[in-house]
Amino acid sequence: MHKAEGFVVTMAIAGLSLGTLPVLAADREALDARFQQAKPVGCDVHCGDVITQHTKLTHDLSCPGTDEPALRIEGDGVVLDLGGHTVRRSSPDQQDTLGIVVTGTSMVRNGTIRGFARGVQTEGVDYLRLHELTFADNRIAIYNYFSTTYFLVTNSRFIGNDVGLGSEIDASIGTFDVRSSHFENNRLGIFLDTHDADVLDSTFMGNEIGIYCFAGNVRVRSSTFARNEAVATTTVPIGGRDICNVFRVEDTLIADNASFAPTEIPIWNVIQLDMINNWLVGNDNGLTAGSSRVYIQGNTFWDNAGGFALEDTPIVSLPQTGIVRANRFLRNGGDGLRVLPASTPTVIGNVALGNTGWGIHAPTAHDGGGNVARDNGAGNCEGVTCAPY
């Protein structure tokens, strides 16, 4: 992959918030405090057991792939502590095997879930807390099944799964609140269908696709995407409900990825794209984004094989509007910034240096002034006025 040499950066962490499900945040915090204080008792748990009270595993479980889950949690307020042990599928065929099925507001923590068709599945659950878990080699690690669920996932690892976080198509809604977690070598890290994702302090590395926003909202904060085949993808809808609405990335490092979007759909198409204070460095191509509205501020695009292009989206018939301000386009292949007709964002206070194409090519944009460009291969600026210093 394309590499950036001599790259050192300190990431700023912004304390911003995203809207959540109607369940009160204060109620979730109180519930989480209760979960954290719970002290489950070690029990001799067997495959197929139903957990109805705080329980801690005392040994690994190797469970055959039958129609019943390896474990089922029933009742609200139950904590299942895996005790550092592994719950795994022992049968040779993954089929429709289930790891842990949860039917009430509960917590699962401290262990590994390996090899199931669905590692953890919710059924009619309002809130599920998952902490210090490793999900390995599952078809879908966490699956929201016919539920409206708020998931809080912390300090967990998703390794070698087909999908890290997913849901029943057209049959469940919810929020994936992911903090301090790691996604590696999955086909797809997070899949969103009528779900929101709020990802904080997390890492996506070596995945085929980091995030797929099919229908929902995404916010990524203070995270890292490195050496993925594609950072993210969205659906280009033809009307209807399947729309990626807001895609927002803040204070995040996106480096050394093969592409921003998959080759077959090489564009992020969303209603609104927000990118704030990110570093995009040494990626093997450029980023093309189609949206109705943009807010692009304080980003550094440095030494990528392509630059940053903005265009209208088929989702909305009106020209793209918004702000492109105080960004740096440095030594990229092709144009640093290209605004394709008939997009009309306001371009203000950007710097474009040493790109092989144009520094800023934006014939239909509004010129907000203060743009600087020099030493670009095809020319410095088109459509806006740039000073050399």
Q: What is the pLDDT of residues 164-202, one digit of tens each?
A: 999 998 889 999 999 999 999 999 999 999 999 999 999
- In angstroms, the CA 146 to CA 139 distance is 18
Q: Which tokens belong to 20?
A: 């959540």
Within 8 A by CB and 6+ apart from 199, the residues are 176, 178, 179, 190, 211, 218, 219, 220, 221, 223
Phi, psi of 364 (to 5 degrees): -105, 0
Structure confidence at residue 19 (pLDDT) = 39
The 10s digit of each residue's pLDDT in 299-336 is 999 999 999 999 998 777 789 999 999 999 999 999 99
pLDDT at 387: 98
Average pLDDT for residues 259-288, to the nearest whole number?
96
User: Do the Cβ atoms of 79 and 107 come closer than 8 Å?
Assistant: yes
β-partners of residue 142 are 120, 165
| Position 16 pLDDT exceeds 60 | no
Mean of pLDDT values over 235-249: 77
Q: How confident is the model at residue 212 (pLDDT cuts 50, 70, 90)?
A: very high
Q: Say yes or no to pLDDT of 239 above 70.
A: no
Six token digits for residue 351: 């710097």
pLDDT at 96 over 60: yes
pLDDT reading at 18 higher than 60: no
Q: What is the mean pLDDT of residues 36-64?
A: 95
User: Under a CB-based contact definition with an 8 Å cutoff, are residues 288 and 268 in contact?
Assistant: yes
No. of helices (H) and no. of strands (E), the chain? 1, 39
**Mean pLDDT on 102-109:** 97
pLDDT at position 389 over 80: yes
**How many CB atoms neighbour CB 163 within 10 A?**
22
pLDDT above 70: residue 8: no
CATH architecture observed for domain 25-387: 3 Solenoid (2.160)
Q: Are 90 and 111 a contacting pair, CB within 8 Å? A: no
The torsion angle over the Cα atoms of residues 51, 180, 124 and 98, rounded to 10 degrees, is -60
More confident residue, 22 or 104: 104
Kindly give, in sequence order, each residue whose CB lies less than 8 Å from that of residue 260, ignoring residues fewer than 6 positions away: 230, 231, 232, 254, 266, 268, 283, 285, 286, 287, 288
Return mean pLDDT, the chain.
Answer: 91
pLDDT at residue number 238: 55
Confidence band for 26, pLDDT divided at 50, 70 and 90: low
Q: Which of 95-99, 234-238, 242-246 has the highest mean pLDDT?
A: 95-99
Pair of tokens at residue 32: 């989480």
Judge whether residue 363 has pLDDT over 50: yes
The average pLDDT across 85-93 equals: 94
Residue 383 one-letter amino acid? G
Residue 99: both structure tokens together: 């790891």
Both tokens assigned to 88: 């795994």
Provide CB contacts within 8 A for 325, sequence distance 6+. 296, 297, 298, 346, 347, 348, 349, 350, 368
Q: State the pLDDT at residue 24.
A: 55
Question: Are 217 and 198 contacting, i.e. CB atoms less than 8 angstroms apart?
Answer: no
